[in-house]
Amino acid sequence: MKHGVAILGATGSIGKSALDVIERHPDRFRVVALTAHSSVSALVALCARVRPDFAVIADPARESALREGLAAAGLPTECLGGAAALSSAVTAPGVDTVIAAIVGAAGLVPTLAAARAGHRILLANKEAIVCAGGLLMDAVRTGEAQLLPLDSEHSAIHQCLAGTAGTRGGVRRLILTASGGPFRTRTELSEVTPEQACAHPNWVMGRKISVDSATLMNKGLEVIEASWLFGFAPANIDVVVHPQSVVHSMVEFVDGSVLAQLGTPDMRTPLAYALAFPERVASGSDTLDFLALGALTFEAPDYARFPCLRLAYDALRAGPAACVWLNAANEMAVDAFLARRLSFLGIARVIEATLEQAPLQAPHSIDEVLQGDASARRKAGALIERSA
């Protein structure tokens, strides 16, 4: 039987790569639902291409434009608008697989809906697990859902842990690799522009994650993500900078053995892995040419030039409320940086100052997560205004 797939964030970088892999395997997958934030024309074009049953535009003001666009293209796709409709897309009849590829905490509620519905969730939306790791993992367990990572590092670790039969006792540590981003060797960071920050050396990605890669907050969010996905304490998760982005991450065992997963930097590999798990299917990515590769190098992350990585470790140690605040402050600061209202170095400063006001009490429900997220955004917004 074919799997019915809903793609949250279909018009983004991950969404497009997901469609590329899915279209290679029409015998296995059928796209049932697609969602986007506000880009009606891009969503209509995708609907014309894969003919889903449902389409959702999160911006409610664009619902009528979407309806008209679908009608003008002669498509019978049912459509809805508004953030609440994102959850309808994942619970639409025929969906059993959800690709969570919205950027930011905005993806949390529909990802939880997918967990409660017992679906296979392919998680790219790391902000959702950073904000609500415990609640999301609980929902996956009680909903009898399955959570598979799409982040290349976590996909690598998932593959390296495959032989441990679910026992984590023999693992000494997880080693996440980081490319180091576009400023790995740059010492002066005060004049950095959004264009420079978004020019990643190895990956083409959405703007928010590109800035996160430049500040190393992306790796910080990934440390938190790894701790929830695989159940490891921060002391057992290390980061090593590996500029070639060929070793996607590693697992070290107590006997001294280290397993690594390698591949060209292409998100279609983790997508194909998670889509077909436990089988393997073609992804369209290039084979790794070892002779052309030359050297693989490793170096320590520079916590002084990239304080966001330390802030993320601090938040993970401080607890779930701090992680909500870290993520919200980062989303606000990155938005402001992209809009040229905040300097590159201001990003870490805003996050650090926001975190100082974070509560200690862990959120017990999604409502409490969303309230914490809103409070942190208010504090960060005020700090950004003051720094302008």
Identify whether the C-beta of residue 37 lies closer than 8 Å to the C-beta of residue 57.
yes
Angstrom distance (rounded) from CA 382 to CA 369: 20
Task: Tell me if 331 contacts Mg ion by CB under 5 A.
Answer: no
Residue 142, number of CB atoms within 10 A of its CB: 11
Pairing of strands 146-149, 120-123: parallel
- If contact means CB under 5 to 8 A according to the sort of partner, which of Mg ion, ligand NAD, none does residue 124 touch? ligand NAD
* Shortest reach from residue 84's CB to ligand NAD, in Å: 11
Interface region with Mg ion, contact rule CB under 5 A, candidates 146-154, 194-202, 251-259, 338-346: 146-154
- Which helix (H) or strand (E) segment holds residue 239: the answer is strand 237-241
What Å distances lie between residue 177 and 129, 174, 240, CA to CA? 19, 10, 5
Report how far Cα 144 is from the mean position of its chain's Cα atoms.
Answer: 22
* Shortest reach from residue 187's CB to ligand NAD, in Å: 27
Structure tokens at 127: 């902000």
Residue whose Cβ sits closest to ligand NAD: 12
Report how far Cα 182 is from the mean position of its chain's Cα atoms.
Answer: 19
SS3 345: helix
Task: Tell me if 225 contacts Mg ion by CB under 5 A.
Answer: no
* Shortest reach from residue 200's CB to Mg ion, in Å: 11
Interface region with Mg ion, contact rule CB under 5 A, candidates 85-93, 148-156, 233-241, 330-338: 148-156
* Shortest reach from residue 4's CB to Mg ion, in Å: 27
> Among 53, 127, 151, 266, which residue sits at the site for Mg ion (rule: CB under 5 A)?
151
* Shortest reach from residue 329's CB to ligand NAD, in Å: 16
209 vs 326, beta carbon nearer ligand NAD: 209
- If contact means CB under 5 to 8 A according to the sort of partner, which of Mg ion, ligand NAD, none does residue 243 touch? none
Structure tokens at 239: 């980061």
33 vs 209, beta carbon nearer Mg ion: 209
What Å distances lie between residue 137 and 126, 199, 227, 286, CA to CA? 13, 34, 11, 34
Identify whether the C-beta of residue 90 lies closer than 8 Å to the C-beta of residue 119.
yes
Residue whose Cβ sits closest to Mg ion: 151
Count of positions on this chain that bind Mg ion (CB under 5 A): 3
Binding site for ligand NAD (CB under 6 A): 9-15, 36-37, 39, 58, 101-104, 106, 124-127, 151, 203, 205-206, 209, 267
- Which helix (H) or strand (E) segment holds residue 64: the answer is helix 63-72
Question: Which residues lie across from 35 on neighbouring strands?
Answer: 56
The interface with Mg ion within residues 90-109 (CB under 5 A) comprises none
* Shortest reach from residue 347's CB to Mg ion, in Å: 18
The residue ranges that bind Mg ion (CB under 5 A) are 151-153
